[in-house]
Homo-oligomer: A and B are copies of this chain.
Amino acid sequence: MEQLFVSRDGRERPRWREAFDCCVVAAQVSEALALSRSGRPVLWLDTAGLDTRARDARLAEAVASGSPVVVMSPTPGEREALDCLNRGAVGYCHVEAVPEQLREISVVVQHGGLWMLPELVQRFMRLSQRVVPTPAPERPELNELTARELMVAEQVARGASNQEIAAALAISERTVKAHLSSIFDKLDLRDRVQLALAMNNIPTVTSVN
């Protein structure tokens, strides 16, 4: 399996070569992708020397390629890990991680897994627990939705318009509206904005508070 490394100056770190037989190094995400010969390589993003903006831009580009993206930071931190994983990265480690670990990470992300430092996993889980209403089993009202309604709701949660939803589900725009009306009724929401937020567990002015 191919490993594509992207670092600011396109320079390779010795450990990468130690870890993998087949690895490509480039200074830009696009270059790396161009040099790739396999369908679904692992993209390693070295953030050394990059500011937040540059990092996010590269990350977005990398994630858009469809390949699993691992961010390698010279100074791994909770905040950065969170940012990167939230933006679609599936791995986060130290840029000087030992070859053995690099190989493990590669295996994990290629199989759909998420990899980060174990202590971060624990920490995030605990953090999440704090903000998830303890007794609440998800959004209870969500179970009231039919399968079809849920599909519509999920599209709205991603910012899709009625027209786009209709196209995606191969139904008429009128039907989308019908489903939406039903959803608003069941979940006690006013419009698609509130639905989009509710689907992402974000309280709204009128529903909560």
Contacts and interface: CB of A to CB of B under 8 A. Distances in A.
Interface of A: 52-53, 56, 60, 63-64, 77-79, 82-83, 85-88, 90, 101, 104-105, 107-109, 111-116, 118, 121-133, 135-138, 140, 155-161, 164, 190-194, 196-197, 200-209
Contacts of A155: 205
A116 B114 contact: yes
Given A86-B122, A107-B107, A201-B86, A156 B193 contact: yes
> Main SS of the interface on chain A?
helix
A85 B126 CA distance: 9
With a 10 A CB-CB cut-off, give which of A52, A82, A113, A140 has the most chain B CB atoms.
A113
A126 to B, nearest CB: 6
A77 to B, nearest CB: 5
Given A127-B131, A200-B202, A78 B113 contact: no
